[in-house]
């Protein structure tokens, strides 16, 4: 590590898209501070990356806890250096029909996906403002773009993340902070594997133009691109759908045209 090595904070960093992003950033020469609420997964991640010479540090923290987030961000600054990147990857979701969605479910999903994203972004953006700017990537979802069945809570939360991203880009640009969002389609992550039944998987595969689920690594590459000042310095306020063409598919019976 040197004083010029860029440092990024990743939430949900011990599994799925977050973990894939950690690996991609380390391969690209970044230092990474990882946050995850699963303390066992954090311990495994610290063991996995201990050979990186201190370039990756993981802390167990709940992103909805302002004090825990503030402590983690301060710790990463002290251990790794000025923060130049953030990927807000932590999130929860479930497929529940509208009439079966309870207010408690709705509140829980919004507390993590929206409030948690805001808490971490605010803490990291404050650090970036002190040290000359940086880049933030919020993980949204294609469920926040069109209306997907069973996603009244999850889709609404990701729609809120998309709007939050645009507002942050407007307000933080003056400080040299770029803010974008990646909206994944169906991605092979532990959360998706837990919630997607065979019937759901078949429907996704029929509607995605590339006829497959994406990988966490493919989302990680999009995240790294949007963090990289050399490749995306003039991109802010954008929502990048990495979805195999799902959101632009339209009617797929092209053989009948």
Cβ-contact 241, 180 below 8 angstroms: no
User: Going from the N-terminus, what domains does the chain have, and what CATH number goes with each?
Assistant: 7-241 (3.40.50.720)
69-94: per-residue pLDDT in tens?
A: 999 999 999 999 999 999 999 999 98
Q: Which of the residues are catalytic?
A: 154
Average pLDDT of the residues in 206-229: 96
Q: What distance in Å separates the CA atoms of residue 154 and residue 85, rounded to the nearest whole number?
A: 25
What stretch of H or E contains 32?
Answer: strand 31-36
**Residue 110 Cα distances to 155, 156, 250, angstroms:** 10, 8, 29
For residue 13, pLDDT beyond 60: yes
The contacts of residue 218 (CB under 8 Å, 6+ apart) are 187, 242
Give 20-46 pLDDT, tens digit per residue: 999 999 999 999 999 999 999 999 999
Question: What's residue 121's pLDDT?
Answer: 98
How many whole angstroms separate alpha carbon 146 and alpha carbon 165?
A: 17
pTM metric for this prediction: 0.93
pLDDT at 190: 81
Q: In the predicted model, is pLDDT for residue 180 greater than 90?
A: yes
């Amino acid at each position: 590590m040197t004083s010029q090595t860029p440092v990024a904070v990743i939430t949900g960093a011990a599994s799925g898209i977050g973990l894939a992003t950690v690996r991609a950033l380390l391969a690209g020469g970044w230092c990474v501070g990882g946050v995850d609420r699963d303390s066992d997964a954090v311990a495994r991640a610290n063991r996995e990356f201990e050979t990186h010479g201190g370039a990756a540090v993981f802390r167990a923290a709940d992103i909805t806890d302002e004090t825990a987030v503030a402590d983690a961000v301060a710790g990463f600054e002290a251990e790794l250096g000025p923060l130049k990147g953030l990927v807000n990857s932590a999130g929860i979701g479930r497929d529940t029909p509208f009439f079966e969605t309870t207010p408690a479910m709705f509140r829980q999903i919004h507390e993590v996906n929206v409030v948690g994203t805001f808490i971490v972004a605010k803490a990291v953006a404050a650090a970036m403002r002190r040290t000359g700017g940086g880049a933030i990537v919020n993980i949204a979802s294609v469920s926040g773009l069109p209306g997907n069945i069973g996603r009244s809570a999850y889709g609404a939360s990701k729609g809120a993340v998309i709007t939050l991203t645009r507002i942050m880009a407007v307000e933080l640009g003056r400080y040299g902070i770029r803010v974008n969002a990646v909206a994944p389609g169906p991605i092979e992550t532990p959360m998706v594997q837990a919630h997607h039944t065979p019937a759901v998987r078949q429907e996704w595969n029929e509607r995605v133009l590339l006829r497959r689920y994406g990988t966490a690594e493919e989302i990680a590459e999009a995240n790294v691109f949007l963090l990289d000042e050399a490749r995306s310095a003039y991109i802010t306020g954008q929502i990048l759908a990495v979805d195999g063409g799902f959101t632009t598919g339209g009617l797929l019976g092209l053989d009948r045209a």
